[in-house]
Amino acid sequence: MSLSLHNKQKVKRLVSLAYRRLGLNGAQHLSIILNYHSIHPTHHSSTRPEDFLAQMAFLKEHFAVISLRGFFEARAANRTLPGKVAMITFDDGYRDNYDYAFPVLQELGLTATVFLATGFIDGELDITREWGDYQGLDHLNWRQVKEMNENGLHIGAHTHTHSILSRLSSDEVEKEIFQSKHIIEEKLGERVSHFAYPLGQPHTFERSVVDVLRRHGFDLACSTIWGTDNRRTDMFALRRIRIDVDDSIADFINKVYGAWDFVRYFQVLRAYGSR
């Protein structure tokens, strides 16, 4: 019998408690990348705006919040990062990123990266029909994207149609990556150098995909492989921490300090089982 989402959350909290008490998350230095999708007051899968505000306030007080671009530049120059560094990302391109997340980030003076599935933004397709967790949510428009970009947020590519790249032919992979990058660069008039893999689990991207990203001038790519420390991680397989609607502020704090890092082991086992 499968567990409900609520019961799964309870199990994860218990495991995180044991993980923390055993000292398995004892990293002295943290460089975390948070993974959000939607910030909305009523949608069943979305982080509530008031919870997002509390999370961002905690992050600002306890971490140095920097951009992915700043992180890449520090890594490339081999500069020492502060002890606790955090980056904030959003996937897909939901309108509520502009309506609810953007004002909070501006109020607190924080930056973030929004990864766009450009076909969704252009209105060519509704990715929420396939990814039912966010069904019914509207997409950003280019005016909103430009406003966010002009006021401290960065824009990255997330393919054109939100397709799982490992399921595509080499020509289709090339098209998905090039098209999303080209459209954003034309709309914003600046280089796009950050990418996030749709789904982003270990089985969804391969070395050949990374080669395409490098060839098209990307500097880094974010996965959804769980992890709190990216100081030595492959820049084209950066780990992220997913923040969910059921997360209490205690869950959030435990996640950013590594007490949920056990999730990565389940992801690896699931990826191994899917082969």
- Residue whose C-alpha is closest to residue 84's, from 152, 16, 27, 19: 27
CATH number, position 226: 3.20.20.370
pTM: 0.91
Distance of CA 81 to the CA centre of its chain: 20
Q: What is the pLDDT of residues 9-53, one digit of tens each?
A: 656 565 555 555 555 455 556 899 999 999 999 999 999 999 999
Does 66 reside within a domain? yes
pLDDT at position 163: 96
- Count the domains in the chain: 1
Range of the domain at 127: 29-273
Does 15 reside within a domain? no
Cα 235-236-239 angle, rounded to 5 deg: 75
pLDDT at position 12: 57
Does 5 reside within a domain? no
pLDDT at position 10: 58
Does 17 reside within a domain? no
Does 71 reside within a domain? yes
pLDDT at position 14: 57
The residues of the chain scoring below 50 in pLDDT are 1, 24, 275
Distance CA 46, CA 40 (A): 5
Does 13 reside within a domain? no
Where residue 21 falls (left for φ over 0; alpha for ψ -120 to 50; beta otherwise) is: alpha
Whether residue 96 contacts residue 40, with contact meaning beta carbons closer than 8 Å, is answered with yes
Q: In sequence order, what DSSP letters do the residues of 135-159 get, joined into one string?
A: TTPPBP-HHHHHHHHHTT-EEEE--
Residue 60 corresponds to which tokens in the numbers above? 């600002």
pLDDT at position 154: 98
